[in-house]
Each structure stands twice: as C-alpha cells, then as structure tokens.
Amino acid sequence: MIWNGFKNFFGQPQKDWATWYNEYQKTYHPPDKNVLLSTLSYVVLDTETTGLDLKTDQIITLGAVRIQNQEIPVHNVLSCSIRQNILHKQDAVSIHGLVQTEKKGVPAHEALAMFFAYIQSDIIIGHHIGFDVKMIEKTSLHHGGGTIKNLIIDTSFLAKRLDNPMNPNSLDGKNYSLDVLCKRFDIVTKDRHTALGDAFLTALLFIKLIHLFEKKGIKTLKQLL
Amino acid sequence: MIYIMHFYRIFVFFCIMAHELTHRIYDFLKEFPPFHFLSKEEILHLASQSTVKYLQKEDILFSIGDLPPQRFYIVKEGAIHLFQSNGDLVETCDEGDVFGIRPLLAHSPYLLTAKAGEETLLYAITTKDFLPLIEKYPKISLFLATNFAVGVGNKYYHKNHQSSNEISENVLTEVVSIDTRIKPVTVDPAITIQEAAQIMVEKGVGSVVICDPDEKPIGIVTDKDLRTKVVAGDIRKKENVTLIMTSPVKCAPPNQSYTQLQMMMLRHRISHVVITEDGSTESKIVGVVSEHDLVVQQTDSPALLLKTILKSDNEKQLSAIRSKIEILIQKWLKQEVSIHFVSQVVSTLNDEIIKRVLYLSEENLGRETYRKMDYCWLALGSEGREEQLLKTDQDNAVIYTNNPNIPNQKELLINLAKEVNRMLFEIGFEYCPAEMMASNPLWCQSVEEWQQTFEKWIFQPGEKEIMMCTIFFDFRPVYGNKSLADSLSQYIFELLDKQKVFLHFLAKNALQNPPPLSFFRNVIVEKNGEHKDSFDIKLRAMMPLVDAARLMILEKKLSGINNTGERYQALAKSDPANAEVLYLAADAYEILIRIRTLFGLRQKNSGRYIQPEEMDKMSKLLLRNAFQPIDDIQKIIKIRFQV
C-alpha cells in the first residue's frame, strides 16, 4: 500500500496519469460563475471511511447523487464500495468468528475511475466535505490519479454563512452537524449511516439552502463564493 | 461522512444495483395506490427510475397548457394545490396523492396549474415504465379512472362509467363457471356473412367464433357487427365473414372470476370474451362469455329472492330474506358492481317486501274492508328516492280518496298502517324517531287533506315546513292506486307555479351545508356528543346533493324521478350548459352511497357517521373527490336562485 504510493509518487513521471484521470482532466471545465445557482449541476458527495486519520485510514464506500434542475434523479447516483486490501484476518476471526475469504467491492482504481467519470465538471457539494475530498485525493494519488479540480462547496459552511454572513467561522460547529441541520430544515433523516443516504440528505439540505440564499438576493455562484 | 470503528473494516461493502435510495422510495410508494397493486420488483423498478423534486412554497410545478414531461408525481411531504384558470382551487394533494397523470394518458396539455402550498417533496415517476403496468393491472386503470372521476373531471372516466367507484381490497374469488357441455358456436372462415347470420339465428346466439381447423379462434362476429357493419354499413351480405370479424379475439383461460372478465370487457371495450384452454389464441376454444351472461349470472339470486318474497307468509320469513339481501349487497359492493344497479335491485326487493307486508296486513285485518278503499302507500325519504341500501328508519305515508260509504276510513287505514309499521320493524326497518310513518294520523290523509298540507307548507314556509317538504317531496307510490300520488305531484307543481318564491327558500335550505374544502388537513368531524370525532357523511356530503337535486327537479317540473343519481342524469340532459357538473354530481353521489354503505355494513348500522382514521387512502381520496361537485352544484344554485 505504502509501497504503491511510493512507486506512484516517485517511480512514474507526472505525465503518465491513469487513463481515468486523463479523461477527467481533458474534459474538465470550470463552471460559469454568473449562471443562476438553481440552473447549475451539482454532485453531492459522501464517503464512509475506516477512520478519521488521513494517513492510515481508507475509504470504504463512496456515495454521490446529482442535482440537476433542482432535482435528484434516482437512476443517476453513484454508490460504490471499495475492496479493502488490508485484512486483519486473525482479529476478525477471533472477534466475529468470520473468515474473510471472498473479496467484495471493486478495486480502488476502478472506484476512482467511476468517481471521476461521474463528477465530470459539476460542482462538488458535501457536509464537512474537506475531509472526504482529501481522502479521495489521497487514494487517487496512490493509484496514478491527481487532485480534484472541481469547485467544492461545504454545506456546513453555507449554513453558517446564512446565519452569520460577516463571520461564519465564529459559529459553534456542533450546531451545524448534518443531524442538527436536517432537523432544523425539516429533512426526515431515516436511513443515515450509508454514504449514499447521507449524500441524499445533504443534497436536500443544499437545495433548501440555495433557496434561502436566493431569497436574500444571492443568486449566482459568484455572489455565493 | 461516517466514522466506522477500526475493527469494522472487515465488513466489505459492494456495489448494489438497487441502492438504499431506491429502497427508501420503494418503502414509501408501496403504501399508496396505485403502487400498492404492484409487485415488489415492479415498484423497485419504478423507484429506481424516479426523480426526487423539491419545491418551495408558492413554486409552480406546471401551468395550464404546459405539455407534460414524460412523468407524473406523488407527494412525499408537503402539499400541492391544483388550480383552474380562474384561480379556483380544485384539489389539494398531500402525502401519498398522485397527480399529473391524466394528461399523460390522454396525451394532452395540463388542464390545471400545480403550485406548492408549502415546502414540498415529490417523487416523479416516469410514464414509460408505468404505462405497461396499467395494461397489466386492470385495478390501476380503475383506480386512475375513479381518481379522475370527480374533482378533476375527465372524459376518461365516462368511457369506463360502468366500472363503478371503488376498488375492493378483497381478492375476488367468485368464479364464472363455463358450461363446457354447451359447445360454443364456431364457423369456418370460408363462409359468407349471410351464412354466419343464419347460423346465429338458428342457434339462438349473439356471436359466432371463426376458428381454424384446429379449433383455434381467429376472429369473432357479434350481432353488433352485423348491425353496424352490414345493416347500417356498406358491406354486402355475400362477402366473406372474415371481412367483418374482430381479430384477433380477446381470450381468457377457464375459471376466471366474474370481475376479471368484466374488467377485461371494460378495458378492451368488448362484449364477448373467448375462453380457450390456455387463455391464448393459440389453444383450443372452450367457450364464449358475453356481457349478457355475466349480468344474468349476477341477477340470478335477486330473482330467487323475489320469488321467495312473494311466497312469504310472515315477518319472520321476510326478515330472513332481508338479511340475504344484505349479504348480496355486500357481495356486490366487493365486486365493484355499479351502485346504480345495486340500488335498483335493492329498492325493487324492498318494495316487494313492503307490498307483501301490506298484502299480509290486509289479510290479517280483513281483506274485504281494504279492497273497497282507494288508497296508496307512499315511501318517503331515502326509500322514496330508491337509495335505501341498508336497513334505515322507515318513512312512509298514506294518501286515500274520501269514501262517504266508509265513515271510519281514516281509522281503518291507521290500523292497517300500525300493522305494517310493526311488521316492517320486525323485519328490521327501525321505527322513525320523528314518527314520520303512516300510522301517525298526521301522515295518513285524504287527497284533500294532503293538498291542504302542501299548500300550507309552500305558502307559509318556515324552517319546519321546509324540512317537511324535503322529506315529503320525495314520496313514491309503492302499493295501491298510484294515480293518487301522481295527481298529488301535479298539484304540487301547480302550487309551486303560484308561489315561485318557495323555491328560493328551498334553495337556501339546500345551501345550509357547504362541503368541507379539505378533508385531510382539517377533518370536519363532530365536535361533541355520541359521534364525536366522526364525519357525518349524510349531513355533510349526501344531503347537500340530495337537496340540490330535488330543488332543480322541482324547478324543471320533472316528476317521477326520485333517485338522486337519476335526477342528476335527467337534469344534465335538460341543461347541456351544466351537464358536466351535473354528471359529476351523479357520480359523486354514487361514491358517497358506496362509502356509506360499506361503513354501515362494517359497523352494522346506517353508516352515517364514519371515522376518518378508519378509512383507507383510497376511500379518503374518493370521498374528498366527491366534495368538489357539491361545491360546484351549490355555486349553480346560488346563481340560479339568487341566494
């Protein structure tokens, strides 16, 4: 694993991106910031990881939904589990009595290929999205890919900005968790605990926030950022 | 982002086709019609192709004249208001309500504007995936038909008019037995139209099936084909029979239920279904079932009941018959037989019971005495309107010609009425608490007395008089000299001509109870008393329609039509400008009777008070849809009678 990353980082010249990353890079174009927020296309993202440590933890699942014309098409979502390479087999047997024999999910590079093909040039939305993006970029770098070029917007920051436009970061973060905000904006949180489920809730939250910004006269990406 | 504890990493997740979002939508859809008719796989597929849409309050989803995208909607949370072009609110759709589907089926632009009444979450379902399911499940087309029937009035419904008004949840098990001993009449494709017609006459059948040498059906020719294509059309009789046959034929396997076959006929607008060994055109013909066969089969039992009534000698036997009628009603309602048909049969049977009771009472008290009298037994109220499906109170009266030779005639008739009332009570018809019964001297009157009574009511209309009129105007002769009732009707019309202002009072009375606008949000229930928290369907929904129909019938001087549904039908014919609303009112009334009767049967009472929380979504929907025509009719009355 670390060896792979090492090899990628030093052993391969920068130009030899993985095919999926090359495709992504070629087609990426930044959004027009003067277009109305409600007409832009967004990808709302969430990941499940083995933990919060950027160095040692890994992504387990990637979940994403798309917002187009203020709608979320159910047939156009990304829900993908990554095959885990490191297995603490003995621990697993002793704790759960299970033996990990078959490998489920897709290899990380396939998941990344799916992910980069999915996001296209859409603006990426997520709750505390910074961490998810870093995890994906870390994995991407390990597998011959690069960083995410898309514009990234954090819904927790948007909610804070709505409440205190002058100094959003002064607000207490615990009032801006996904759970608290869903409750506040009447979003039914039924099946949390999956990346896709959370991405869907975040998408609803984002649509509601956009409407509230529009009411305040903030109607374009330029005004929002 | 979810933090997973370190040792959980052994749980490996994988890509799944039906992801949790699909399941979330599936969980919702499966609770509501029409989706609950579908299989799990079918709902999952619809869910996987759906779209989640969020609307803010006041957001417009679509406007009148917009061409519909290839999808329709179901409300997940919130409320959608549907408006007409004049800004009138037609309907409020809330959780679980489906809307925007009619234009897709009719391939026409939206007739209404949809606006979010509050923050709203919708699921949009693609039509492409849904249309094949309509074909597959007759219950869906039925549901949609009734959904459009009232409120969002639609022609689609009228085509399916016979398909009745409620979908029973019960599995219909009654099987139409095909008498396989009688060979269906089949003919060779080579014969002429004339030869086919001759065979039909000889065999006394309404159709012939054209079969190939293996007895597989190729086509069918019915007497209707002969009438329209040959007699009225320009095809000559010497031509080949295949020229006028309907091909391919609609087939079904043996042992279909009554409802399945009826639905099939309705759906394909056909009057004959060919029964083959495996239900396809590729197997041997077994029989033919016509619409007529189905009708005969279902009217078989009432005919038997009628015979037994005529042979009954006492109230005990009649009571047993009345219980059988109730079972029949229940069965029919479950089979979705049209209310119009049910009420007709039930009032015929009720009338026969009353006639038999009168006959027996005359016998008991001395038949000779009563044979000399010229009198008529009148049914009042709902019995008078032929709408009494359940055993409710008895309301009746007697009208007689004064006979100077029988000085104590009134007394004798009251005695007779007492006996009749008692027997009807024994049979199961409760006494009228307000004593509107022929045994009450007030309601056993001579022709002259009745004329005076109506004169008083019409010329001095107080609250009580108006109320009396609403009950007595719906009188219907059941037994005795019917011309007495007819001439009383004529007399009343003459009085109304002299006292035009009376209709204005009656109109005011008819508008006393406006329909509840939204049954879901603000359930209009009784605030106090025994029926606290229940909905008075009679007072709030049925009486307004009954009163309005009576008023308009009196205005148009249409006598002899007592049934509210028939009254609206007749009014629609005589008033083309308002025909649509009047037809919708007729439908709405049928729906109301059906709901009330089903509740009554379940609760073993008159069904007048219904508990909204005990209604399923479908009944709620039907009930709410029935309110709109009430409102429309009341608007017409307000204008016409200047209230």
pLDDT in tens, B334-356: 666 667 777 777 888 889 999 99
| Closest by Cβ to B56, choosing from A83, A98, A211 | A211
- Looking at the fold, whether B410 and B513 belong to one and the same domain comes out as no
Domain containing residue B204: CATH number: 3.10.580.10
Residue B158 maps to a domain: no
Residue B156: Cβ-neighbour burial (10 angstroms; 0-12, 13-18, 19+): middle
- How far does the CA of residue B78 sit from the closest CA of chain A (Å)? 11
Rounded to 10 degrees, the C-alpha dihedral B500/B502/B506/B512 comes to: 110
Helix B447-459 to helix B463-472 angle (10° resolution) is 130
Whether B328 and B469 share a structural domain: yes
Say whether both B369 and B454 belong to one domain.
yes
CB contact under 8 A, B7 and A88: yes
| Residue B104, φ and ψ in degrees, nearest 5 | -70, -35
Note whether A62 and A80 are within 8 A (CB): yes
In-domain check, residue B65: yes
Establish if B170 belongs to a structural domain.
no
Number of inter-chain CB pairs under 8 A, A vs B: 127
Residues B421 and B326 in one domain: yes
Contacts of B331 (CB under 8 A, 6+ apart): B174
- Long-range contacts (CB closer than 8 Å, 24 or more residues apart) made by A217-220: A218/A37, A219/A36, A219/A37, A219/A38, A220/A33, A220/A34, A220/A35, A220/A36, A220/A37
Residue B111 and residue B255 share a domain: no
The pairing of beta strand A71-73 with beta strand B113-116: unpaired
In a domain, B62, yes or no: yes
* Same structural domain, B277 and B337: no
Residue B412 is part of a domain; what is its CATH number? Answer: 3.30.460.10
Residue B171 falls inside a structural domain: no
Give me the residue from A47, A96, A128 closest to B10, CB to CB. A96
Q: Which of B471, B640, B611 is nearest to B537 (CA)?
A: B611
Kindly state the DSSP code that residue B614 receives in the 8-state scheme: G
Rounded to an integer, the average pLDDT of B363-370 is 91
Task: Give the domain extent around B544.
Answer: 508-640
Q: Are residues B331 and B480 in the same domain?
A: yes
List CB contacts (< 8 A) between B7 and chain A: 88, 91-92, 95
Q: Are residues B601 and B519 in the same domain?
A: yes
Q: Which of B292, B327, B356 is the last residue of a domain?
A: B292
ipTM, interface predicted TM-score of the complex: 0.83
Q: Who has greater pLDDT, A203 or B295?
A: A203
**Within a domain: B172:** no
> Given this model, what pLDDT does residue B2 score?
42
- Within 8 A of A189 by CB-CB distance, chain B residues are none
Q: In what order do the strands lie in the sheet with B285-290?
A: B251-252, B272-276, B285-290
Q: Which residues of B touch A (CB under 8 A)?
A: 1-16, 19-22, 24-25, 47-54, 56, 77, 119, 121, 124
Closest CA to B397 of B456, B361, B442, B448: B442
Q: How far is CA B497 from the centre of its chain?
A: 34
Nearest by CB: B13 against A60, A73, A131: A60
Is B391 domain-assigned? yes
Q: Which two tokens stand for residue B584?
A: 């919708």
CATH fourth-level superfamily of A2-224? Ribonuclease H-like superfamily/Ribonuclease H (3.30.420.10)
Name the residue among B4, B9, B21 with its Cβ closest to that of A74. B21
pLDDT, one tens digit per residue, over B461-520 is 888 888 888 889 999 999 999 999 999 999 999 999 998 889 998 999 999 887 775 554
**Which residue spans within chain A are E strands per DSSP?**
42-49, 59-67, 71-73, 77-81, 123-126, 152-154
Strands (E), B259-358: 272-276, 285-290
Q: Is A216 on the interface with B (CB under 8 A)?
A: no
- B610/B545 same-domain check: yes
**Torsion from C-alpha of B103, B104, B107, B110, nearest 10 degrees:** 30
pLDDT of residue B607: 84
Mean pLDDT, chain A, whole residue set: 84
Q: What is the pLDDT, as a whole number, of residue B137?
A: 77
Q: What is the CATH number of the domain that holds B110?
A: 2.60.120.10
Residues 6+ apart with CB under 8 A from B609: B526, B531, B534, B535, B536, B537
For residue A14, with 0-12 CB atoms within 10 Å meaning exposed, 13-18 middle and 19 or more buried, which class applies? exposed
A179/B contact by beta carbon, under 8 A: no
Q: pLDDT tens-digit profile of B115-133?
A: 999 889 999 999 888 888 8
pLDDT average, residue stretch B166-191: 56
**One domain, residues B521 and B606:** yes
Q: Give B75's contacts in chain A (Cβ within 8 Å).
A: none
B305: in domain = no
Mean pLDDT along residues B311-339 = 81
Counting the structural domains of chain B, the total is: 4
| Exposure class string for A166-199: b at 16+ Cβ within 10 A, else e | eebeebeeeebebeebbeebebeeebeebbbbbb
Name the residue among A79, A91, A204 with its Cβ closest to that of B7: A91
Kindly state whether residues B513 and B480 are assigned to the same domain.
no
Instruction: At B5, list the tokens.
Output: 């504890």
* Three-state SS letters, B182-201: CCCCEECCCCEHHHHHHHHH
Asked if B473 and B334 sit in the same domain, the reply is yes
Rg (CA), chain A: 19
- Shortest Cα distance, chain A CAs vs residue B118, angstroms: 12
**A122 close contact with B: CB closer than 8 A:** no
